[in-house]
Structure 1
């Protein structure tokens, strides 16, 4: 029967299966038969259109016509296919050549643009260096100094090559220092009763890992970051001082350089970021201390308080006065608003001063000497009130705890000593590895943790003086270390040119 495909050699165009007989039919023909008879043509059993089952088959491949089966026809088909393939290959080669030419032209333009940018950058740098000398002489002041009417007078950085004359500490200055100390002491007693909210825990510190490393802040030809400080108002901002004679202000959140401060004639060994204003202080063995406006990247004040290299600086809690020390055995107290030296005192029989740090209250401060002595001074009386012997080698760093009771000191003897300022004695000595070099000490703002930088970077828990974490990520000596807000991160600088951030 024509309906039954099994009898025919042809494959139906739309095959269906009858569930009654299991035979395959052409849908068009079986539907016509069902409408006329209502039964399966093979078994004569009742069958409806809805009962039919569609079959899924591959598309019908029709054979070549007889005219295409001859040898000449096959050769022509192969020739046509070869011609199409060659034409496609030729088109692709043309497109590739065009793309190569466009890329070569773009790379040439990029290289030319880079050369122009490098030349312009060099010219801008030279212009800024010239302006750093010329603008302050015209009395241009950095933003943040404007509220002070005396600022900017005598602001020329080259106005005095010799040390300045002492202006004297007036009763007004002394009263200002006393009022600030009274206020800070009262605030500290309140804070001392509670742990700051959000302070990093001991477990947090132990889980700190390197999160970022920046090596492009200072020159690669004269490598080494010698000093670093963070802004207490915004701890994402960091200032570094380098062997390349520059200070650099960097934002860790945006990973952008905010300012490059050029003007020192020798390496920058100490830097401080003002806690409330857009100002930076830097000191150098070129005998000078410079005050910089960050927004203008210009030197606004030059303080020449010493005849020898400046070895350390510390900002008073008022933000208006700067303590400095020098290898000329003198320490000086200067007004950063006017650039004037208010008082200068010689250490007398002591050796060269290597570092200096204000007590949190601001009425006393400590200095370290080359002959291994730590000296505590009364600022108002300008007198040496206590001495802490015990180290061997020049003192490298001193740091007061926020609570005002503890003083941490280090020297070239691979130990860190903790001193009780109430009892004036050494109550704890942290012995480090043999030949360990300590270059920087820093308590966090709560006085809970102490960090040590040198051969590596270490964090200790205060009171228990337990070592919590050691960071060995630097490839050279770590020269400076600081804590972020609530010890949320640790930042360190090194002679390997890198500025590294450690956190969770």
Structure 2
């Protein structure tokens, strides 16, 4: 009211003046205001009604303007006032719209800032978690496990850039390898030609169906499972490695994830489940090999044996030593109890190694190369003792049969070749369809069946080499395949992010 009087110079019917602000008010209105608030509406100072100063003004009779002496003139005056009011209302609406836009922009900026802060907090938490995972590797790792020795391999980002020193193949290590091979050979001779009583028969394999499909083991944002292994002691536990840089331990019986292993900085392409311990081994293009304690989901040892991506892993039958290959053209033999690199040998392959596996006896092993070569090595002598030429593409997978005589190899040439290690020759070639990709091979524990994973999943009966069953359930390339105990079930993984299990319904 005071502002209206001051700006329009209109005099109220009963004008009064505030002694504090000097503003003019209509007496009736200001008294009501003071009863509710008790202060000057302009200056905010305490003001009582009896402090108001009345203004004595003579009664002035304002004559009507000449233009308002008729009805049409009065209507025109009212029209002008209406027009002025509409223009003022339009201006107010424009200002309101501008204010709303400014407020909306400010709220959007605030929301964007909150999201950026949340993302940064998440990245900081992830970095702290990774740091906490890496810290135990700097010294002695005291975990309740069968691998309690200190990690001699350096951590990534620290002295890991320095190659590990070779400790050498001592006479004690060689004797240990020889003793194990002797025991395994004798056991194989005792088994002879008999097959386990619980082994699933060929007719039963033909009736295998998909009994389970698990798509939630790895991240959906970076799809793809790249590696697979099964615990040979507890066949309910399955290990997978994914594009999401994690390895997952899954119990197929309870359908529960047992552990998620985080630490690699790139995808995991090779995984091994230790046959006698709750320990797993993973390899990655980040050039690191990690040995994990499953109950704690922690890295126990970090091996940096190579200066290139790790392409192959195989555990020695003793359970104490690890064979690894890399695109740096070397294969390495390491002690997983102490983290020592025992020996490292360069291959003559021009383009690097792609895969590796120990023979069941553990004294020889096979490697594949990018230039289509399959090579057999003597571990004790660290020498190349045989070569199997014939493939026309990079070797993608190799697998020794438990009978000790057969070797299956696959390459990017749409065929699987079977080799006789006694005669050192190719005795069977399974020619697949043009464009067929083979990513993994696996014999069952008795050497009766051979499984192939790639464009689809197939099972062959050994000796006759006839295909028993073809599974086309995956919607993308199959990357891994393994048999359960006595071939009672078959597991496969795929780039479609699923783990599938096949068995008799």
Question: Shorter-chain-normalised TM-score: which range?
Answer: 0.7 to 0.9
Query: 1:415 touches 1:431 (CA, 8 Å); kept in 2?
Result: yes
1:195 deviation in Å? 1.0
Equivalent residues in 2 for 1:266-345, closer than 5 Å: 266-345=266-345
Distance (Å, rounded) in 1 between the aligned partners of 2:489 and 2:424: 32
Query: 2:137 touches 2:151 (CA, 8 Å); kept in 1?
Result: no
Partner of 1:493: 493
Partner of 2:144: 143
SS at match of 1:322: strand
Q: If the length of structure 2 is used for normalisation, what is the TM-score? A: 0.73
Distance (Å, rounded) in 2 between the aligned partners of 1:408 and 1:332: 22
Change over 3 Å in CA distance of 1:155–1:163 after alignment to 2: closer
1:163 deviation in Å? 2.1
Change over 3 Å in CA distance of 1:333–1:433 after alignment to 2: same
Distance (Å, rounded) in 2 between the aligned partners of 1:278 and 1:124: 28
Query: 1:155 touches 1:300 (CA, 8 Å); kept in 2?
Result: no
Distance (Å, rounded) in 2 between the aligned partners of 1:153 and 1:419: 39
Distance (Å, rounded) in 2 between the aligned partners of 1:153 and 1:311: 22
Q: Could you list the per-position Cα deviations for residues 115-174 of structure 1 after superposition, in whole angstroms to 9, with x for gaps in the alignment?
A: xxxxx999987664332112333422443335x5xx125466345233211111100000
1:194 deviation in Å? 1.2
Query: 1:157 touches 1:301 (CA, 8 Å); kept in 2?
Result: no
Equivalent residues in 2 for 1:109-258, closer than 5 Å: 128-145=129-146, 151-154=149-152, 157-158=155-156, 159-258=159-258
Change over 3 Å in CA distance of 1:210–1:137 after alignment to 2: same
Change over 3 Å in CA distance of 1:453–1:314 after alignment to 2: same
SS at match of 1:387: strand
Change over 3 Å in CA distance of 1:389–1:221 after alignment to 2: same
Partner of 2:406: 406
Partner of 2:42: none
Partner of 2:374: 374
Structure 2 residues not aligned, in runs of 5+: 1-120
Partner of 1:347: 347
Q: Could you list the per-position Cα deviations for residues 446-472 of structure 1 after superposition, in whole angstroms to 9, with x for gaps in the alignment?
A: 000000000000000000001000000
Q: Could you list the per-position Cα deviations for residues 31-66 of structure 1 after superposition, in whole angstroms to 9, with x for gaps in the alignment?
A: xxxxxxxxxxxxxxxxxxxxxxxxxxxxxxxxxxxx
Residue 453 (str. 1) matches residue 426 (str. 2): no
SS at match of 2:186: helix
Q: Comparing 221-230 with 344-353, which one deviates more in the overlay?
A: 344-353
SS at match of 1:160: helix
Query: 2:151 touches 2:301 (CA, 8 Å); kept in 1?
Result: no
Change over 3 Å in CA distance of 1:386–1:453 after alignment to 2: same
Q: Could you list the per-position Cα deviations for residues 19-41 of structure 1 after superposition, in whole angstroms to 9, with x for gaps in the alignment?
A: xxxxxxxxxxxxxxxxxxxxxxx
Change over 3 Å in CA distance of 1:448–1:209 after alignment to 2: same
Q: If the length of structure 1 is used for normalisation, what is the TM-score? A: 0.74
1:349 deviation in Å? 4.6
SS at match of 1:174: helix
SS at match of 1:305: coil
- The alignment of Structure 1 onto Structure 2 pairs a total of residues equal to 383
Change over 3 Å in CA distance of 1:126–1:367 after alignment to 2: same
Partner of 2:365: 365
